[in-house]
Amino acid sequence: MEFSSKAFKEGKCQGQKVVHGEIMPLVLQPPEPNKGDLESLLFALRENKDWFEQMIINNSAVLLRGYNVEKAEDFNEILEIFGWEEINYVGPAPRTHVYKRVLTANEGPLSEFIYYHHEMVLIKESPKKVIFFCEIPPPEGGETPFVPSFRVTERMLEEFPEAVEKIEEKGLKYTFTALSKNDTSSMRGRGWENTFGTSDCAEAERRANAVGMDLEWLPNGAVHATLGPRPLTKVFDGRKGRRMWFNTVVGMHGKELSSAMMADGTELPENVVKRCEEIIEEESIQFKWEKGDVLFFDNMALLHGRRPSLPPRRILVAITK
């Protein structure tokens, strides 16, 4: 489905790329200067809901820019139009619930880089969409770069065909440690009570098992989680049969609170992991946030991260099935 809607004007943004004929991100702006108010946007989305959802699949990233979206309540009104089912966030990133469907993005130190990932890639049911809203753009840095996942697979198969297929055959195993209490000085500083939404150890284990995790309680009150086997790549319906790099090998391999290895315990080749990190960066798409931006990601097709930033920066997020 080509771009065609009188309800929006196609725009451009810094860093935009064309990948295999697809514009990333597709930028949609008000069709006329007097159509940038919130009510006009909500009307346009209601009238073009199916088309808009198809644009997210076709282009993997759609950016609404130039509209008067000011606060979490406005952002939530946009989300409610589509009726996408909420999914509870499970993971180590410190977050705060803001309003209805809306959360803060990772509240870890702005000085640190958040590595590229598919949201909740380790969980059996990952969200299909991740939607961001820029309430306060950073004065410098703080981009949310993203990467077409299939391009990473293509390039890794070109350079390391045997290693990729070996890892795919064996599968992956991950471990991470959830701390006893929240620590916002860490990118992975979410305590286990917030991670699993309960202060009861038995209930935490039940919830962890339900999403494919095994837990081991540590003497210091933290918990060690193991997940696996997990795939290296995945193919999803409606996405041209592309093989997505649906893993978090680079993000978790050899880190202080996490690890990634083959499912049988074999270590991953260091040169393969290092080169994968370089390829992901080479394929990344960068753009600068503007106040009021609303960015829709197809989480099945894109990895995303966060560049270091000067404060203030306030990006809100919603994740949906």
- CA-closest candidate to residue 8, choices 52, 71, 60, 70: 52
pTM: predicted TM-score of the whole model, two decimal places: 0.94
The per-residue pLDDT string of the chain (321 residues; one tens digit each, 9 = 90 and over) reads 455 688 999 999 999 999 999 999 999 999 999 999 999 999 999 999 999 999 999 999 999 999 999 999 999 999 999 999 999 888 778 889 999 999 999 998 999 999 999 999 998 889 999 999 999 999 999 999 999 999 999 999 999 999 999 999 999 999 999 889 887 767 666 789 988 889 999 999 999 999 889 999 999 999 999 999 999 999 999 999 999 999 999 999 999 889 999 999 999 999 999 999 999 999 999 999 999 999 999 999 999 999 999 999 999 999 999
The span from the CA of 276 to the CA of 156, in Å, is 7
pLDDT of residue 3: 58
Task: Annotate 152-215 with DSSP letters as a single string.
Answer: HHHHHHHH-HHHHHHHHHH-EEEEEEEBSS--TTSTT--BHHHHHT-S-HHHHHHHHHHTTEEE
pLDDT of residue 187: 65
Q: Are 317 and 102 in contact (CB under 8 A)?
A: yes
The span from the CA of 229 to the CA of 240, in Å, is 26
Count the neighbouring beta carbons within 10 Å of the beta carbon of residue 122.
23
Q: How far is CA 199 from the centre of its chain?
A: 27
Helix (H) or strand (E) holding 319: strand 314-320
Q: Are 310 and 118 in contact (CB under 8 A)?
A: no
pLDDT of residue 4: 63
Altogether, the residues listed in the chain come to a count of 321
pLDDT of residue 86: 92
pLDDT of residue 243: 98
pLDDT of residue 92: 74
Separation in Å, CA 197 to CA 86, 189, 201, 207, 213: 15, 15, 11, 9, 15
